[in-house]
Amino acid sequence: MKKILTGILALVLCTALLLSAALADTLTMSGTVTAGETVQVYAPIGGTVGAVNAEVGQEVGADDILYSMKTTKVYAEEDGTVTGVFGQPGDSASTVAERYGAVLYLEGTSVYSVSASTSNAYNSTETKFVHVGETVYLICRSSSARSGSGVITSISGTDYQVRVESGTFIPGDSVDIYRDEAYTNTRKIGRGTVSRTAPTAVSASGSIVKIAVKDGDTVKRGDLLLETLDGTFDGFYMSGTEIAAGQAGVIGSLNVSRGSGVQKDSVAAVIYPMDTMRVEASVPEDSRGMIHEGDPVEIELEADESKTYTGTVKLVSAVAESAGGNGGSGETTYRVLIDFVPDENVKFGMSVVVNTVEDEEPAAEETAEEEADAAEEETAEEAEDADSAETEKSGRPAWDGTKPEGFPEGEKPEGFPEGFPEGFEGFGDGEGPSSGFPAGNSGSAEEGMNNEESAVEENADGKDANP
């Protein structure tokens, strides 16, 4: 009976502990997935935005381009040869021009010009009246070997300028100018002096982004020479016109648009890194004591209840977010921050339900198992004690179903009661002898021994054991 009561008590205790853990109070909160930190993307240079390559809410890599700056391109105005490049990417174009007169120079195919006058022209109305764009022919007065052709480019009174298109001259040569290749005297329109044509100075404003040519390059009219943009580069280092995210994550805000101006060092975009996701929830003041930093919680997506995640409370704010005091009607709450590991199903701004997790439940189950094991051990010990008590009472150990060592085969031991079977068939096979007993004396060897013991006791009292 004692064993049964002990077992029942252990089971009751185990059940009580499990029910206590299951019915323990839990806390449920509503929360939102937020970014634990943000990364700001600063504009490395000011200017005009040329193109925007991303959108708010878009997931980007660190090398993805968010936007690019608009540049101003400078092209060659004539065929020629680049004779000097003084600027380089990152430089201020105006500063270079102030120092060298231009960012670069372009020497045209015509390297000579003639300053002429109609004073020495053939005396006629036709030869005294010249036209811009008119083709003329030149011949050196000191050496007829030096001759060529040109175009009148400007006129001022009786003076005009000729751009030499062909031929070889020496600066300072005095040349006569005619309207025909035969140099007919009646077609002479004046006289002039040859000079060296100055290279074309190529300048620009803003900061140099790109120099497309190098000294000595031959270019055609319309070829790209250089690019600039507004603003200045840090340390005159050209960092490029394309601005990358610099951080993998989701674009939380984008403060630029095509054609808009952007100031250097202003915040162009904000990135939410994916690995900084966390849950932000609020707990009412009367439940604040039910949650603590380090507590495990279970997070469930409101959009998909099958998606659950394990989290850990990182912070329970000690300062109320909103209060109902001072005439306010809102409930006083405290901010709770929870760290967790998201997967591809979790997005910033998602609504979640947070439930606290009771960590005592595993301990209760373990305690119940230990109690059950202890009760079982106690029951086994009590059974052993009962066997020991029986042995002590009879004076002999209880028969365990095996033949004693040295027991003679086929003989009846002296002192065994009458009727004990001969041969002892089956003795020692795990069962007591069951055959050969006279009627009323069947049973185990132990019972026979006990009967003999009773007979001996009766003889001791003076009674006849065999009437």
Q: Do the domains spanning 28-36+283-356 and 112-196 agree at the CATH topology level? A: yes
Average pLDDT rounded to a whole number, residues 40-67: 93
Q: Which fold has domain 72-108+201-236?
A: OB fold (Dihydrolipoamide Acetyltransferase, E2P) (2.40.50)
Do 226 and 208 touch, CB atoms closer than 8 A?
A: yes
- The CATH class, in words, for 28-36+283-356 is mainly beta
Indicate the CATH number for domain 112-196.
2.40.30.10
Decide if pLDDT at 446 tops 60: no
Decide if pLDDT at 326 tops 90: no
Percent of the chain's residues with pLDDT above 70 = 70
Tell me which of 231 and 141 has the higher pLDDT: 141
Percent of the chain's residues with pLDDT above 90 = 61
Burial of residue 226, with CB atoms counted within 10 A of its CB: 0-12 exposed, 13-18 middle, 19 or more buried: buried
State the CB neighbour count (10 A cutoff) for residue 338: 25
Which residue's entry shows tokens 């704010």? 317
Secondary structure class of 40 (helix, strand, coil): strand
User: 327-377 pLDDT, tens per residue?
Assistant: 555 789 999 999 999 999 999 999 999 999 875 544 445 555 666 676 667
pLDDT at residue 271, rounded to an integer: 96
Decide if pLDDT at 197 tops 80: yes
pLDDT band at residue 233 under the 50/70/90 scheme:
confident
The closest alpha carbon to 44, from 280, 331, 239, belongs to 239
β pairing state of 112-117 and 188-196: antiparallel
pLDDT at residue 423, rounded to an integer: 46
DSSP code for 120: G
pLDDT at residue 154, rounded to an integer: 96
The closest alpha carbon to 70, from 297, 328, 256, belongs to 256
SS3 content of the chain, % helix, strand, coil (to 5): 20, 35, 45
Mean pLDDT over each residue of the chain, to the nearest integer: 81
Do 307 and 66 touch, CB atoms closer than 8 A?
A: no
Which residue's entry shows tokens 């603003």? 231
Least confident of 27-31, 85-89, 90-94, 428-432: 428-432
Which residue intervals of 259-412 are DSSP H helices? 361-394
pLDDT at residue 379, rounded to an integer: 67
pLDDT at residue 427, rounded to an integer: 44
pLDDT at residue 358, rounded to an integer: 72
Average pLDDT rounded to a whole number, residues 226-233: 86
pLDDT band at residue 55 under the 50/70/90 scheme:
very high
pLDDT at residue 463, rounded to an integer: 45
Decide if pLDDT at 442 tops 70: no
Long-range contacts of 85-90 (CB under 8 A, 24+ apart): 85/211, 85/213, 85/214, 85/215, 87/208, 87/211, 87/226, 88/208, 88/211, 89/208, 89/209, 89/210, 89/211, 89/238, 90/207, 90/208, 90/233, 90/235, 90/236, 90/237, 90/238
Per-domain residue ranges of the chain: 28-36+283-356, 72-108+201-236, 112-196, 394-467
Least confident of 243-257, 297-311, 431-445: 431-445
Decide if pLDDT at 36 tops 80: yes
CA geometry: angle 227, 229, 233, nearest 5 deg:
110
Do 354 and 338 touch, CB atoms closer than 8 A?
A: yes
What is the chain's length? 467
Using CA of residue 400, residue 403, residue 406, residue 407, what is the dihedral sign?
positive
Q: How far is the C-alpha of 27 from the C-alpha of 166, rounded, in Å?
A: 95
Predicted model pTM:
0.57
User: 148-162 pLDDT, tens per residue?
Assistant: 999 999 999 999 999
Secondary structure class of 31 (helix, strand, coil): strand
Q: Name 141's Cβ contacts closer than 8 Å, sequence gap at least 6.
A: 173, 174, 175, 176, 191
Do 80 and 221 touch, CB atoms closer than 8 A?
A: no
Decide if pLDDT at 69 tops 60: yes
Which residue's entry shows tokens 């997935």? 33
Query: Dmax over Cα atoms in the chain, in whole Å?
Result: 192
Which residue's entry shows tokens 């993998």? 248
The closest alpha carbon to 76, from 98, 109, 100, belongs to 109
Do 294 and 312 touch, CB atoms closer than 8 A?
A: yes
Average pLDDT rounded to a whole number, residues 425-431: 44
Q: Name 136's Cβ contacts closer than 8 Å, sequence gap at least 6.
A: 149, 150, 151, 152, 162, 177, 178, 179, 189
DSSP code for 24: S
Q: How far is the C-alpha of 204 from the C-alpha of 199, rounded, in Å?
A: 16
pLDDT at residue 365, rounded to an integer: 52
Least confident of 99-108, 154-163, 177-186, 350-359: 350-359
Decide if pLDDT at 300 tops 50: yes
